[in-house]
Chains A and B, each alone.
Chain A
Amino acid sequence: MISKDEILHVAELANLKLKDDEVDSFVSQLGKIVDMESNLASVDTDGVEPTYNMGDTSTTFREDKGIHTQTREQMFENVPESEDNLIKVPTIVAKEEDE
């Protein structure tokens, strides 16, 4: 089970805005999925180390040396809006009258 409030809270954390019908279907679908996931509780994992990473390499080191890859112009090819060679975005800090 997962409540509508929980769904809305998780959506807020994930930077998602859900339409009303999406909220309803996520309450029901994620509820079922989370119920399935709750079966994990039946496994005895006392003292078992979690596996978060795979692979046989531990931390790898390389020389701290700059490598030239893409140019600034190339990096800007996909930017949706730019001005004076800078990425343009809407207001970050609102003026007081907008609050």
Chain B
Amino acid sequence: MNYLNETIDSLHKKLADKELTSKELTDQTLNGMKDKEKDISAFITVNDDAVKDAEKVDNDGIKGSLSGIPIAIKDNIVSNGIKTTAASKILYNFMPVYSATVLEKLEAAGAINIGKTNMDEFAMGSSTETSYFGDTHNPWNLDTVPGGSSGGSAAAVASGEVIAALGTDTGGSIRQPASFNGIFGIKPTYGRVSRWGVIAFASSLDQVGVMSKRVEDSATVLSAIAGHDEHDSTSSEKEVPDYRANLSKDMTGVRIAVPKEFWHEGTNPEVIAQVNKALETYKKLGATVDEVSLPALKHAVEVYYVLASSEASSNLQRYDGVRYGFRAKDVKNIKDLFVNSRSEGFGTEVKRRIMLGTFALSAGAYDAYFKKAAQVRTLFIEEMNKVLEDHDFIMGPSTTSTAFKIGDKIDDPLAMYMNDILTIPANLAGLPAASVPAGLADGMPVGLQIMARPFNEQAIFNAAYALQEENKFYEQIPTALKGED
């Protein structure tokens, strides 16, 4: 199966009209994956029971729009009976005994979990290179990274292995890989989607979202996974709209804010040119574009790496080799068991974040780093909300460059962290944000980032859809896949 020219609607029609069974579709998906995975390596684990799951859906009858459709799941979302690793050695053998709420909801809608996608270890990274299970390759150029941390999900969608995938986004982990792979990806408002069963990284920032080639497909999937969950007290009780049914590309009178700090000198001019072109499209469609300023943006990376690492150092204390996962051998006592299991089980980037977070929370550093960062976060949230009082959107580039070469930044943590400067703001402020393809720069995809007011995912889908219907980027076939079909 090659999903590049399909949509959830087109697949649903074939399934509902009995042109195709879910079993056939799932078989074809697995065959397509076998072919493409040689180049892409987007998956850590393929679901061996996917065909059986599809047969069950066929027997029950095709119902809603996701019924019978295979979807890929990032490997930090736990799946009952299917290995879930967060791309870490410390969870290399972890077999969940329950499923995350988002997966239960997808399965209740009839979707098939086709497999678990590669990612940066514990979602810490921007290139998928920190995975214990090896690199994933960008289908636009196999020598470049797919971005991260949801790099496997992004590459699986961009290469047409699947129609849609779930990802998670703590500082840009859905939007940056979406941008690098020329697909759409949305990080919903903090609290829009339950995180029960999602392996925690930074709990005041983490959110589950969706990636797909077409905007309307993410709209369908987000409606299915969003909503309150009694297992996650941070999940909102606000009603979930039918984003797909409510899609509108009317941009008349819409007010767009562009922070001048997003156009900073470090950003590739070709990227800026594509983003400016997208903004011109919105003007043509009747929107106004105003330049604004977010002075606290220059501290966003600093705030993020203190807070995210501090929360991570706390969340990752649970990995101690006692109850699950990797356990170090030949230890004398319980302390050695903890220390050796963690030291042998975590990769370098994860250790670096745990060290930074432990430092920022330690006596003597707490006020100057952790508390200070939390205060600057407040200022930052106020700045963003002020802009959104009289604008519908904040827009800018999703990333400062297109996908970089595998190996280029992995030894320079600060350069890697600076990748996130444009995506971090939405996480710090809890805002919904998406990346939608804007065009190509030197043959590689560029994403436009769209942020909106809390719980206004509909507005983001609408704006992204309006751009998609103008530039029809989805017609582009990733370079490395050309000549295959």
Residues of A within 8 A of B (CB): 2, 6-7, 10-11, 13-18, 22, 26, 29-30, 32-34, 36-41, 43, 45, 48-57, 60, 62, 69-70, 74-75, 77-81, 87, 89-92, 94, 98
By secondary structure, the B interface counts as helix
Q: Is B233 an interface residue (CB 8 A)?
A: yes
Contacts of B305 in A (CB 8 A): 33, 36-37
Top 4 A-B pairs, shortest CB-CB distance: A50-B374, A78-B324, A45-B375, A80-B327
Pick the contact of A54: B191, B324, B348 (CB < 8 A).
B191
Query: Looking at the complex, which one of B324, B336, B355, B414 makes contact with A10 (CB distance below 8 Å)?
Result: B355
Q: Does B246 contact A (CB under 8 A)?
A: no
Having A78-B95, A89-B322, one finds 11 other A-B pairs with CB under 8 Å, namely A14-B313, A15-B339, A30-B359, A33-B417, A34-B356, A37-B302, A43-B296, A43-B375, A55-B236, A57-B233, A90-B332
Chain A residues whose C-beta falls within 8 Å of the C-beta of B245 in the assembled complex = none
Chain B residues in 8 Å Cβ range of A53: 204
Residues of B within 8 A of A57 (CB): 191, 233-237
How many Å from the CB of A7 to the closest CB on chain B?
7
Distance between Cα atoms of A2 and B331 in the complex (Å): 31
Residues on B close to A: CB < 8 A?
93-95, 97-98, 190-191, 204-205, 230, 233-237, 296, 299, 301-303, 305-306, 313, 317, 320-325, 327, 331-340, 342-343, 346, 348, 351-352, 354-356, 358-360, 362, 368-369, 371-379, 381, 413-414, 417, 430
* Contact across chains for A54 and B430 when beta carbons are under 8 A apart: yes
A45 and B376 contact, Cβ closer than 8 Å, known pairs A15-B320, A17-B343, A55-B191: yes
Could you say which residues of chain B place their CB within 8 Å of the CB of A16? 339, 342-343, 346, 351, 354-355
Is the Cβ of B355 less than 8 Å from the Cβ of A30? yes
- Residues in B whose Cβ lies below 8 Å from that of A78: 93-95, 97, 323-325
CA of A56 to CA of B430, assembled, Å:
10
Q: Which of B299, B359, B373, B379 has the most CB of A within 10 A?
A: B359
Residues of A within 8 A of B204 (CB): 51-54
Which of A49, A54, A69 contacts B98 (CB under 8 A)?
A69
Residues of A within 8 A of B324 (CB): 78-80
CB distance from B73 to the nearest CB of A (A): 19
The distance in angstroms between the C-alpha atoms of A48 and B379, with both chains bound, is: 8
Whether the pair A51, B368 counts as a contact (CB closer than 8 A) is: no
Q: Are B376 and A40 in contact (CB under 8 A)?
A: yes
- The A interface, classified by DSSP as helix, strand, loop or mixed, is loop
Q: Report how far A30 CA is from B352 CA in the complex, Å.
A: 8
Q: Which residues of B contact A98 (CB under 8 A)?
A: 332
- Complex-state Cα separation, A41 to B306, whole angstroms: 13
Partner of B351, one of A22, A50, A55, A94: A22
Report Cα–Cα, A91/B93, bound state, in Å.
25
Q: Is the CB of B358 within 8 A of A33?
A: no
CB distance from B55 to the nearest CB of A (A): 25
Alpha-carbon distance between A30 and B426 when the two chains are bound, in angstroms: 26
Nearest residue (CB) in A for B190 is A54
B355 touching A32 by the CB < 8 A rule?
no
Q: Is the CB of B334 within 8 A of A92?
A: yes
CB-based nearest B residue for A11? B355
- Known A22-B348, A55-B190; judge A70-B355 contact (CB<8 A): no
A14–B358 touching, CB < 8 Å: yes
Cross-chain contact A43 with B376 (CB below 8 angstroms): yes
Residues of chain A within 8 A (CB-CB) of B337 are 89-90
User: Are the CB atoms of B371 and A50 closer together than 8 Å?
Assistant: yes
Q: Contact check: which of B93, B97, B334, B356 meets A74 at CB < 8 Å?
A: B97
